[in-house]
Chains A and B, each alone.
Chain A
């Protein structure tokens, strides 16, 4: 059966609402006192983790297209990319609001000399232009530069990983899993380029 436009719209709507679920869950937990002893940390880490997961999902679409020789994965690239940005924005917002309290003094005191926080900010700076140029309109206006610009997702993925690695005290298992996933997704690209 060939799927028609309304079908794709429906599927996209489902993906959209499923992608919102982590946020809904946090809100429900927040209202039921379910964020634990350190709710700011729970919010902050959960949002960061989801940003990284959506980044992995976004990066997985191109290899998935090649593997399946079908074009449908690309239909979700913009949405998942924007969800990466959405969760990264909330992650940053929680930090600037609930940790730093939008205070320049605290920012200088706690961020200026803290490499892993600066790396997090740098990652966000790489994601920002991608989100801003994600519309069809911008895609047309930028022409061939659009594709070049959107390669920023690769350094963003690597910076995000470094940001994660540097905040862990001794147990590297969690960041290692994400590193492995991102490594595979990047290597697959190089390999398929060679074959092509």
Chain B
């Protein structure tokens, strides 16, 4: 059986172009208003680089979280465990030049320049829910391309059953990497069918703009049906493997973080409930939201885990 079985997108699931373009205008208008209200500076009045990028499939029309919140509340342990502190510290990251080393079970291994990867993949926007394992969530309009588009250009072999991603190791600019809060560099992984699923996305921008460093610039993964820690930031290595790769959080606490890390309200974290989530930017008195199975993407991804006991494969 081919490992590259792609989920077929039913034509009924794809929003007609006219409709999404119209929605997009409404969203953009409201975004523009928020941005203008928050930051009436000349820099932000400028045209953003990805304003003309079209909306892709699977993009939801959920209310988008404020840019300020998304950029000032990030888990980036390479800098600090403080979610606000990472905003400033991350600016020290050196992102130019940027290369991605592709290895393992592929026909075209090698070191790829970021510009070459970007040239080969056309950009689209995806408005996705993002659910952190810490029980908070947000909605982010990512700019990027499907992960499968990029992976296919490296021509994985039939022995490629998993994909492993590695974050940059830059201890001179990443103070958190000088302490042992996790085993650096950060690594994550996906089963090949998860990686090839059309929902899996590589982001190089967000909110029509470049990807801020604290949000994973210049290249990050976005897997919306899994807890946020799977969506690895600042990727420098992609390795195709036959066996399941080790992941950073699994190494740190194997009984708490599994390889799959699918959002699942019915399986609590060993130390806290996953039944509800705090919506970022909703304010002091807003209720939490009931967490959805696979973060609301069950209809698209549930089949990937058919027959698996999801309380065991966490």
List the interface of chain A (C-beta within 8 A of B).
Answer: 30, 35-41, 43, 98-99, 101, 106, 109-110, 113-117, 166-167, 169-171, 173
B182 interface neighbour in A40, A166, A170, Cβ under 8 Å: A170
Q: What 1/0 mask marks residues of chain B from 35 to 77 whose CB sits below 8 Å from any chain A CB?
A: 0000000000000000000000000000000101110110001
Whether a CB of chain A sits under 8 angstroms from the CB of B1 is no
B84 to A: closest C-beta gap in Å? 6
A133 to B: closest C-beta gap in Å? 33
For the complex, would chain A's binding face be called helix, strand, loop or mixed by DSSP majority? Answer: helix
Whether a CB of chain A sits under 8 angstroms from the CB of B278 is yes
A114 touches B181 (CB 8 A): no
Complex CA gap A36/B285 in Å reads 14
Complex CA gap A115/B287 in Å reads 23
B278 interface neighbour in A40, A43, A169, Cβ under 8 Å: A40
Number of A-B contacts (CB under 8 A): 65
Whether a CB of chain A sits under 8 angstroms from the CB of B308 is no
Complex CA gap A30/B287 in Å reads 17
Contacts of B138 in A (CB 8 A): 37
Smallest CB-CB A-B distances: 9 pairs: A37-B69, A37-B73, A171-B81, A110-B273, A37-B280, A171-B181, A39-B284, A170-B181, A170-B252
Whether a CB of chain A sits under 8 angstroms from the CB of B268 is yes
**Given known A-B contacts A36-B73, A38-B278, A98-B284, A109 and B271 have beta carbons under 8 A apart:** no
B288 interface neighbour in A36, A99, A116, A166, Cβ under 8 Å: A99
In chain A, what residue has the closest Cβ to B69? A37
In chain A, what residue has the closest Cβ to B74? A37
B284 touches A40 (CB 8 A): yes
In chain A, what residue has the closest Cβ to B72? A37
A38 touches B280 (CB 8 A): yes
| A–B Cβ pairs within 8 angstroms, 25 of them | A30-B284, A36-B72, A36-B84, A37-B66, A37-B68, A37-B69, A37-B70, A37-B138, A37-B280, A38-B280, A40-B278, A40-B284, A101-B287, A109-B275, A110-B272, A110-B273, A115-B271, A116-B271, A116-B272, A167-B271, A167-B272, A169-B134, A170-B81, A170-B181, A170-B253
B309 to A: closest C-beta gap in Å? 19
Contacts of A170 in B (CB 8 A): 77, 81, 181-182, 252-253
In chain B, what residue has the closest Cβ to A100? B288
Q: Report the contact-size class of chain B (Cβ under 8 Å from the partner).
A: 20 to 34
B215 to A: closest C-beta gap in Å? 13
Whether a CB of chain A sits under 8 angstroms from the CB of B24 is no
Complex CA gap A173/B72 in Å reads 22
**Given known A-B contacts A30-B284, A114-B272, A41 and B278 have beta carbons under 8 A apart:** yes
Complex CA gap A167/B182 in Å reads 16
Contacts of B307 in A (CB 8 A): none
Complex CA gap A114/B263 in Å reads 19
Whether a CB of chain A sits under 8 angstroms from the CB of B250 is no
Whether a CB of chain A sits under 8 angstroms from the CB of B97 is no
Whether a CB of chain A sits under 8 angstroms from the CB of B283 is yes
B273 interface neighbour in A38, A39, A98, A113, Cβ under 8 Å: A113
A45 to B: closest C-beta gap in Å? 11
Contacts of B69 in A (CB 8 A): 36-37
**Given known A-B contacts A36-B72, A36-B73, A171-B77, A110 and B275 have beta carbons under 8 A apart:** yes
Between B84, B253, B278, B283, the greatest number of chain A beta carbons within 10 A of the residue's beta carbon is seen for B278
